[in-house]
Amino acid sequence: MAYNKTSEERKWNYWKEQEEKKLRELGMEEEKIQKLRQMDREDFLEERRYREHLDEMMQDMDSIKQRDRGRFAQDIRELLDNIGDRRIYELLKGTEHQTLEILLLSTWGYSGREIAKIMGLAEQTVYTKRNRLRNKLKNLLKIESLWRFSSAI
């Protein structure tokens, strides 16, 4: 259920009024009551920001689930099974699981930012892992082309 700002504000105000009424009955100074109100208000606003952020993330996750339907491969094993080139397969088979997850999510069309959010990683980490894999593939292809060239001579 979505976070309802108005409802939560109303609940907070009611709670605060009841608390302040009791504090006044107990003889607490008005200045201290107001200071306590300010501190509680800051806590309430911080909690509200957190709830709103959480709400946005849940909506993002729902849209991600809807987008996942027409995927190339359902999981990493299926992704590896669909690799036709034996050398690339061997390279990917020796790659760490997290990098393979990033590769899989990339094949599904997710951006680096989205992958970072899904996996709970820093965005730069996702880009670094993708670039390292890309460089490994480039080196593999470079070695292959050199090997073909030298054997042709």
Specify the range with the lowest mean pLDDT, choosing from 9-18, 48-57, 62-71, 103-112. 62-71
What confidence score (pLDDT) does residue 51 get?
Answer: 81
Percent of the chain with pLDDT over 90: 39
What confidence score (pLDDT) does residue 19 get?
Answer: 94
Who contacts 91 (Cβ-Cβ below 8 Å, separation ≥6)?
Answer: 136, 137, 140
Percent of the chain with pLDDT over 70: 82
- Over the stretch 73-111, which tens digit does the pLDDT of each residue have? 778 888 888 888 888 888 888 889 999 999 888 888 889
**pTM, whole model, 2 decimals?**
0.49
For residue 107, the tally of other CB atoms under 10 A from its CB is 13
Q: Regarding the domain delimited by 76-151, which CATH topology (the fold level of the hierarchy) does it fall under?
A: Arc Repressor Mutant, subunit A (1.10.10)
Distance CA 100, CA 115 (A): 12
CA dist list (Å): 87 to 80, 101, 150, 152: 12, 19, 19, 20
Who contacts 98 (Cβ-Cβ below 8 Å, separation ≥6)?
Answer: 119, 121, 129
Distance CA 147, CA 139 (A): 12
What confidence score (pLDDT) does residue 152 get?
Answer: 47
63 pLDDT tier (thresholds 50, 70, 90): low
CA dist list (Å): 61 to 65, 66, 68, 113, 116: 6, 9, 11, 13, 12
Let me know: does 125 contact 99? Beta carbons within 8 Å: no
- Over the stretch 131-141, which tens digit does the pLDDT of each residue have? 999 998 888 77
Let me know: does 89 contact 83? Beta carbons within 8 Å: yes
- Over the stretch 29-48, which tens digit does the pLDDT of each residue have? 999 999 999 999 999 998 88
What confidence score (pLDDT) does residue 2 get?
Answer: 65
State the DSSP string of 123-150.
HHHHHHHHHHHHHHHHHHHHHHHHHHHH
Domain boundaries, the chain: 5-66, 76-151
Q: What is the mean pLDDT of residues 7-15?
A: 91
What confidence score (pLDDT) does residue 14 get?
Answer: 94
